[in-house]
Copies of this chain bind each other. A is one copy, B any other.
């Protein structure tokens, strides 16, 4: 089997969602470093040849290039059932949480962390807006996880990979994760899975130059 090739970079929690799925599933994959911080995803040739949405991750599957971590996880969950939905109703419930993640969870958390910890904007009205939204969404997920170990119940699925993507960046997260105890316990369960790695140990980063 030709290993999957994943366009990714260490700072991308969206790429990490896919990288971690592949790693915990024991599926061979290789990383193709995306030089995001030097503008690679904004170049016309990236849009024309790799991803018209101008984003990472992109998973190369034979002669296809698939983007959007949610769509990639949905595809991988069908082909590699270890963390895939076990039934149509599980698939629908997984998609429900993955859409929530894209709309209300990763969207706010990732952008907030990017501004505060990567581009270092300092606190602004925008970070205040994003933090308020992020915390509301964390509360929704925390309440859900109060009653089950993983998002869909007893076992980890694609929905967990989607939601956890940005939450392993530790001190880079500009809010108090510990205020959400069920989320913290759930992250510990994921972290204890065989083969788990931190995003920076799983995906390449730009070396200082």
Contacts and interface: CB of A to CB of B under 8 A. Distances in A.
Copies of this chain per assembly: 2
A100 interface: yes
Interface stretch (A26-34, A102-110, A167-175, A189-197): A102-110
A103 B71 CA distance: 12
B124 A95 contact: no
Interface in A36-85: 47, 52-54, 66-71, 74-75
Interface string A95-128: 1101110111011000000000000000011100
A171 to B, nearest CB: 24
A140 interface: yes
Contact of A140 (B54, B74, B143): B54
A75 B96 CA distance: 10
A70 B95 contact: yes
A35 interface: no
Interface of A: 47, 52-54, 66-71, 74-75, 92, 95-96, 98-100, 102-104, 106-107, 124-126, 129, 140, 143-144
Given A68-B103, A70-B99, A95-B95, 14 more contacts: A53-B100, A66-B92, A66-B96, A69-B99, A71-B95, A71-B99, A75-B92, A102-B103, A103-B106, A107-B107, A124-B125, A125-B125, A126-B126, A129-B129
